Each structure stands twice: as structure tokens, then as C-alpha cells.
Structure 1
Amino acid sequence: MQTSPVRRSSPDKMIYVLVLVIIVQTIYPLTADGSLLTQIIYSLFYASLIVSGIVVAREQRQDIRLLTVLGATWFISSIIYNLNQHATWARFLAYGAIIPYQIAVTRVLLLYIFASKKVTRDVIYAAAAVYILIGAIFVPTYGLIETITYEQTGTNAFVDTTVEPGQVFPWQNFAYFSYVTLTTLGFGDIQPVTLVARAAVTIESVIGVFYTTVIMARLVSLYTAQGVEAEIKHDHTQTG
């Protein structure tokens, strides 16, 4: 009897990575109250993504060191930001520290996906986690654009029906906006105003479409190759 080409790796370590990424990217509304304790707890959850990177790159010491350094740097920066939430320099620090960290985690997962020779559940979980992390990377990117624009011009780079003109743009709003942009839903309640903001939004939309296309092609090609391999083995078994 022919077996399915989709194989189960042992153990399914990536399911924990995916669940952690989903939790981190969905519990952010809890931080809207501005409570220091809530912010720190959320930062701890986010810093735990270091573990997910280490689980994947446990044989690559250089990647582990990089993830550890970037994760620790961001966590310290987040604590500083939580203690100075209304300071512009603190927002710059937090946004600037988290982007390299997110990119490093995403890179490790992408390398894992494209190094895999078989379609396993871990590969599928990793692909889903990367998609979510792409949206996460653009949250601080939009935050930096907004902060720089406001400091230079006194106007906002984005407009939001829930944010008054001249008011500090909450990063939580960017978390929502990023995933609306990534999935090309475009509700229109938040809009980019400046050319730089529009360029960033366009880039995220293109990446969202491009990523799903490339990943689907990768998984389908691996699945097809496994199917052919399984057929050959089956034929050899029957004729042997």
C-alpha cells in the first residue's frame, strides 16, 4: 500500500514554534492599557522566540549566538521602552532593536524550509510561521516611518480613524494594519499618507503575494518528488 508523501517528523518541533508565533502576534491587544506589567509580560513572550530559533538552528552555533544576542538586545530595549513609553528616543530604540531580531528568526526558518528535502509537517508549520513573522517585521518598520516623519514634519505618515492628528500612533494599530496589508484585505480604516509609507505598504503587499507563490511552488515540487520516489520504491518492492 502506497504511503502519503507528507511525512511526520519526530518530534513535530515546529508546531510549538508556530503556536508561539501565533500567540505573540494575537495577544497584543492586552498591552493597549499601557500597563507596565502587561508590557513586560508581552516582551517576555516575544523574547521567547529565541527558543524557536534555537530549536531550528541548534546545529548552527553562529546562528544561535546571533539569535541570542539580538533577542537579548531587543528584550533590554523593550524594557527601556516600557519604562519610557512616551519618549521618542525609546520608540526609536525599541523599533530599531526588534527588526533585526525578527529578521534573524525568519531567516533561520526560511533556511530550514529550503534545506528540507521532504514535505513534513514541520516544514508546513515553519512556512506558516514565516508568513506570520513577515507581517510582524513590518509592524516596527511602520513605527519607524511614522516616528521619523512626525519628528521631521510634525505630521503623521499614516492616518487612522481612531487616532487624532498629531497623536502618537500606537504600535498596536500597526500590528493590525500590517496583517491587513500582508493579506491584501485593505479595509481602508488606516491609510499611508507619505510616499515612504506607501512604498513600505506596497513592498509588504508584494512580499505577501510573492511568498505564498514561492512557498506553494516549493512544497508542491517537494511533494511531487516524494510521490515519484514512493512510486519507484513501490514498483521495486512489487517486482523484487
Structure 2
Amino acid sequence: MPPAQSSRSRLHRTVGAAAEALIDRIGLRGALALMLAFAVVLQFGYPVTLHGELWTGLYMALYGGMLFFALLIVHEQGRGLLPFVLLGAVSTTVGIVYSFNQRNETITVVMLFTVALFMAVIIGKLGVFLFRRQRADGLSLILAALTVYVIVGGFFGAVYAGIELLVPGSFEDPLTPGISPTWPQLVYFSYVTMSTVGYGDILATTAWSRSLVTFHGVGATLYLTIVVARLVGIWSSSSHSQGPAELGATAEVRASRPVRPDVE
């Protein structure tokens, strides 16, 4: 075996063993809950990036935490562990470099699309868990569904900000005409789009940006509909999963209960 391949195999075994040990300790449900917590802090805590480079660096470092718990889900699926680790490490590193070079447009674009790619992979892995897993408790599925929804908002926020940097004027804030909306503004716009509220304080102004925003809004609505159907299906199948023997036992218990005489 070539040395490089042997090193990759050792790294894969090391990461896999660490993930196995942690998931045995906190459980899959615990990993999902912690990943949701990190996702909520990241996607709704973005205003801290307005307070300087240090706060931005700390914020970007939190992606490492989300990577850590997302690893458990990837490991549980049994494939793609090492590429995911590398992508998450690169995403976190680029984010920290950006924190101290926020005026560099090239680094900003690389950061936005690297973070977007990282979030897209997490969404994909959680989507597989949510829609293809045959046996999972309802709470784990709800945690996975909520995490996907939260991360989707951050994903589109990063994509919108990247598009605005590459094609200025794709988005506009009517209160500051001629000035491109910032990344935090477009994260906010992303969640407003998902909620279908439509405040109108930030607008998509080109044909392609409007098309993407339309896809985002419709897709988020369909996602909620499909997830509710999935969860209802899981609940229905579990409530009707009693076999004939179980049903017979239930009938026996009922038959053995004493019949109370009618009281006139």
C-alpha cells in the first residue's frame, strides 16, 4: 500500500474511532441536538461579526463545532468521512483568514462559497438521514429536519452574498441605493424569503437573482410540506406496527378484565 494511502487509511480509522466513541457516549440524538444548537448560534448570531475582527474570528471558529457534531452523522452513514473532514477544516480555516482580511474581495468570495459548499454537504447528509433512514425515532428526525431548515437559510445567505460580490447590483437595499447589501443583510434576507414574509427592505433586482430567490422560497415551502408528510408517515407506521400476536395479547388482557355490573 502506498504511504499516502496508508496515511489516509490511518486518519480515517482515527477519526472514525473518535466519532464512534463520542456517539456511544452522547448518542445520535444528542449529536443531532448539539449540531442544531451550533447551527442556531451560527445562523442567528451573525450580528457579532459587526463588532470587529476578533468577534468575526470567534464566530467563524464555531463552524468547527458544527463540523465536529456533523461528523457523527456522516460516520453513522458509513461513507464520505475523510472528504467531509477536509472540507470542514478548509471551510473553518478560510473563515478565520477572512476574519482578519474582510476588505479583501477575493478572500471574501472564497470564504462565502467554501462555507456554502460545507453547508450544502451537511444539508445533503442530513437529508439522507431524514428521508432514507428506515428506522429512527421521531425526535431524531425532528432534530434533523430543524437543523436542515436552519442551515438552508445560512446557505442561501452565503450564496446571495457571493453573487452580489461577483455581480454587483444583483440585490439592493432601497434605503441605501447604489450600495451593495452586506453578507449579514443577505443572511437576514434569506430567512425572510424562507418565511415568505416579504418585508421588501432588500430586493433581488436581476432576472437570475430573482429566479434564485423564487426557487429558494418555493423550495423552502415544499420542504416543510414534505417533512411534515414524512413525520406523519413515521408516526402512522409506528402506531400501526403492532403485529397479530400483539393485537391478540391486547385482546386477551381486555377480556380478562372483570365486567362491572350495570348500576341501575
Q: Output the TM-score relative to the length of structure 2.
A: 0.79
Asked whether the equivalents of residues 116 and 123 of structure 1 are also in contact (C-alpha less than 8 Å), the reply is no
Deviation at 1:193, TM superposition (A): 0.5
Asked whether the equivalents of residues 139 and 174 of structure 1 are also in contact (C-alpha less than 8 Å), the reply is yes
Deviation at 1:239, TM superposition (A): 4.9
Q: Which residue of 1 aligns with 2:172?
A: 159
Higher relative contact order (CA 8 A, sep 6+): 1
Are residues 1:222 and 2:240 paired?
no
* Residue pairs, 1:1-240, within 5 angstroms: 12-13=29-30, 14-33=32-51, 35-60=52-77, 62-114=79-131, 115-150=133-168, 156-165=169-178, 167-230=179-242, 234-239=246-251
> Cα 1:97–1:220, aligned 2, differ >3 Å: closer, same or farther?
same
Q: Which residue of 1 aligns with 2:18?
A: none
Matched residues in 1 for 2:94 and 2:129: separation?
Answer: 28
Asked whether the equivalents of residues 143 and 174 of structure 1 are also in contact (C-alpha less than 8 Å), the reply is yes
Q: Share of identical aligned residues, percent?
A: 24
Matched length: 225
Matched residues in 2 for 1:133 and 1:77: separation?
Answer: 19
Deviation at 1:191, TM superposition (A): 0.6
Residues 188-227 of structure 1 show CA distances to partners (whole Å, capped at 9, x for unaligned) of 0011111111111111101101101111111111111111
Q: Please, which runs of 5 or more residues in structure 2 have no aligned partner?
A: 1-25, 253-264
Deviation at 1:52, TM superposition (A): 2.1
Q: Please, which runs of 5 or more residues in structure 1 have no aligned partner?
A: 1-8, 151-155
Asked whether the equivalents of residues 172 and 180 of structure 2 are also in contact (C-alpha less than 8 Å), the reply is no
Q: Output the TM-score relative to the length of structure 1.
A: 0.86
Letter in 1 for 2:170: A
Residues 168-192 of structure 1 show CA distances to partners (whole Å, capped at 9, x for unaligned) of 4311001110000011111100111
Computing the radius of gyration from Cα coordinates, the structure with the larger value is 2
Matched residues in 2 for 1:187 and 1:96: separation?
Answer: 26
Corresponding residue SS for 1:12: helix
